[in-house]
Structure 1
Amino acid sequence: MEMITDLFQTKSMLPDEYRHLSREEMEQRVHDIKRSLGTKLFIPGHHYQKDEVIQFADVTGDSLQLAQIAAANREAEHIVFCGVHFMAETADMLTNEEQKVYLPDMRAGCSMADMANIYQTEEAWAELQAIFGDTIIPLTYVNSTAAIKAFTGHYGGACVTSSNAKQMVKWALTQKERLLFLPDQHLGRNTAYDLGVPLEQMAVWNPIKNELEYKGNLSEVKVILWKGHCSVHEGFTVENVRHIRETKPHMNIIVHPECSREVVAASDDSGSTKYIIDVIQNAPAGSSWAIGTEMNLVKRIIAEHPDKEIISLNPNMCPCMTMNRIDLPHLLWALDMIVQGEGGNIIKVEEQTAIEARLSLQRMLDRA
């Protein structure tokens, strides 16, 4: 199975003219284009995007939620996805043939998704089949390429989100004796542990060395974790938690399950982006929170809840660099290309890849 996403009419370099426009000029032009295109244009914005972009989003949410909303919008001809590459791929696979999905900056990838390419995965699958036989079902986090989603679809597996990971892991272990979870080892480990799988029954597949990292009896392995991670969430440490406990012991600590097992265990609560947003929303005025997730979102939560004391678990954490690729100049440029009929930066997933990837997505949606 060869990946791939067909990127046609791709524009890679932002024209100089956009670098010299004032923020006010760009904002006015985006407003004007949105007004002129009306319902033909739809702009989904991921929670981790900058405020300068989010202000123009028709809807905000997590990656799968946005793709589903885009799929339900049959009026929009142009879907300008403010997120990263794999999100735009998923939107393309779920929308119809008449709709076009655009990514304003083609450099907006995801380091986690890039840690599992289809060639490494197929090689790993062959090795794992040789070790364990036909006893493995693959699951992939939605933060993965279309090719990896197609791989899981082809072999009877499914996608998961951070919101439904427990449900999907539980389902997977009714289908086969063990599972391969990619590309994020931390979400896989935290989820399986919460479901009662001991750490001693979890192995790690190292795609760089092409080997299984495990000390023990291989027959006891229940979960095989791909050695990938989110560079943002792996930046939160036990030391960060310890510092909050010592300096602000009144604070509740809530983190994303892409954080390491040690950080999740040391925190008060953990959950998906939506879960974190909902917990803070429903928390009483005057409550105090240290949040371990992407900085753009944390800053937005702080601004939206002035009645609460909220900080980042790691105040030195940088925003997700690839998410930050989408900025106001690139958004305006993408919209200008649509208006001018140039159609640049269109994301189109090859049909056979899309068919099998949709199988993976549908198996998840059927259990939502």
Structure 2
Amino acid sequence: MILTDLKAKSAFNQYYDENPEAQIQRIYAAKAAFGDDLLMVAHHYQKDEVFQFADAQGDSLKLAQIAAENQRAKKIVFCGVHFMAETADILTTDAQSVILPDPMAGCSMADMANTFQLTQAWAQLTQQYDTDILPITYVNSTAAIKAFVGAHHGVVVTSSNAEKIVAWALKKAKRLLFLPDQHLGRNTALALGIHPDEIGLWQTQQMTLQAAQPNQVRVILWDGYCSVHQQFNVTQIQKLRQQDPLIKIIVHPECSQEVVAAADEVGSTAAIINYLKAAPKNSHIAVGTDNNLVGRLKAQYQDKTISFLNPYACSCILMNRIDLPHLAWTMDQLMAQETGNVITVSAETSFWAKKALDRMLQLSK
């Protein structure tokens, strides 16, 4: 078994020694051969070398909607990260396969919440606050977390629809548990008028709730975060404003509350793209989100000056595991009638996770 794995790894490593142009031609040829039987989708944070092949691009909400609406393609090559491929598998039919070019393309934020931690936290919180509490999970979470939320009458959110859905949830329950991204949860709660004293932080390592007024808490945040959006800070904004007082700053709501407060605008990936598209010619805008996307937008809108909020920030390392060699290997596998890295969520997990996802899709209409 170990020898077989080493041989397979050695064979794959040869893809890094190949001429990229040959790989590009093979990928396009494979797509043409499969025709409508194959759909390739890509998240906006993907590198250009992968993004160029996508039949559809989008943020997490759009890709979830594409997966839910697609009934044609038998094979869906998902250029994103593991939790996104899981979501696609949950929302598609049993006759469809979701293939992730590299199964190691995960999400550090999603990994900050597991069902063991959540089960313990839920037991303590419901004992402290009774059962009038609703779980909400960001789409950047595992299928198992989504299933827990679905089984407890909760809902999934994305950065595009968080305010709308959290506003709905606050009318349904006295308290919310929002996981795994504390920053999106905090920024959303504050935008909806929740007082800071009504926001608590669940510390997963200590298994305790940090809150100024525990009895007043309405939104309990999990203490997770995005490793990419953690790289932006107020000092970067201040320096850019010193260089150009007319500059506009737009950041993603996964940034800290201090960064969001210092920016001019805050918005999801789709909102950032639309903001730059609508901005007047010759305007100067700095963007605080994944630099793969920002670099693509710089090239697309050359009639405007688009700057990186932090030009030295790392793009999502795990997302970038999906690269040209992995995509070429995947397409070669499919052409050879091999399965590739198929992402499969169990029937029970899918059932409950779909409950939470369907609530999101319904509320997002």
What TM-score do the two structures reach when normalised by structure 1? 0.95
2:300: which partner in 1? Answer: 304
Match of 2:159 among 159, 162, 168: 162
Residues 64 and 90 of structure 1 are in contact (CA less than 8 Å); yes or no, is this contact kept in structure 2? Answer: no
Is 1:40 matched with 2:40?
no
- Give the 5 Å matches for 1:318-337: 318-337=314-333
1:365: which partner in 2? Answer: 361
Residues 12 and 105 of structure 1 are in contact (CA less than 8 Å); yes or no, is this contact kept in structure 2? Answer: no
Amino acid at match of 2:303: D
Range moving further from structure 2, 124-133 or 65-74: 65-74
Match of 1:251 among 228, 247, 250: 247
List per-residue Cα deviations over 1:94-129 (Å, max 9, x = no partner): 111100001000110000100011111111101111
2:171: which partner in 1? Answer: 174
2:55: which partner in 1? Answer: 58
Measured after TM superposition, the shift of residue 12 of structure 1 is 8.5
- In the alignment of these two chains, the number of paired residues is 358
In structure 2, distance between residues paired with 1:321 and 1:125 = 31
- CA gap 1:214/1:361 in 2 versus in 1, 3 angstroms: same
Aligned partner of residue 15 in structure 1, secondary structure: helix
Is 1:262 matched with 2:293?
no
In structure 2, distance between residues paired with 1:124 and 1:26 = 48
Residues 137 and 146 of structure 2 are in contact (CA less than 8 Å); yes or no, is this contact kept in structure 1? Answer: yes
Pairwise CA RMSD: 1.4
Match of 1:16 among 10, 13, 25: 13
Aligned partner of residue 324 in structure 1, secondary structure: helix
In structure 2, distance between residues paired with 1:16 and 1:281 = 40
In structure 1, distance between residues paired with 2:362 and 2:313 = 37
In structure 1, distance between residues paired with 2:13 and 2:86 = 28
Is 1:86 matched with 2:76?
no
List per-residue Cα deviations over 1:161-196 (Å, max 9, x = no partner): 111101111111111101000000000000000100
Is 1:149 matched with 2:146?
yes
Residues 65 and 361 of structure 2 are in contact (CA less than 8 Å); yes or no, is this contact kept in structure 1? Answer: no
- Give the 5 Å matches for 1:232-251: 232-251=228-247
Match of 2:347 among 336, 344, 351: 351
In structure 2, distance between residues paired with 1:285 and 1:16 = 45
2:335: which partner in 1? Answer: 339
Percent sequence identity over matched residues? 52
List per-residue Cα deviations over 1:205-240 (Å, max 9, x = no partner): 011111111233x22001100000001011100111
- Give the 5 Å matches for 1:178-193: 178-193=175-190
Unaligned residue ranges in structure 1 (runs of 5+):
1-8
In structure 1, distance between residues paired with 2:210 and 2:333 = 48
1:272: which partner in 2? Answer: 268
Is 1:195 matched with 2:192?
yes
Amino acid at match of 1:308: K
Aligned partner of residue 97 in structure 1, secondary structure: coil
Unaligned residue ranges in structure 2 (runs of 5+):
none
Measured after TM superposition, the shift of residue 72 of structure 1 is 2.1
Is 1:129 matched with 2:113?
no
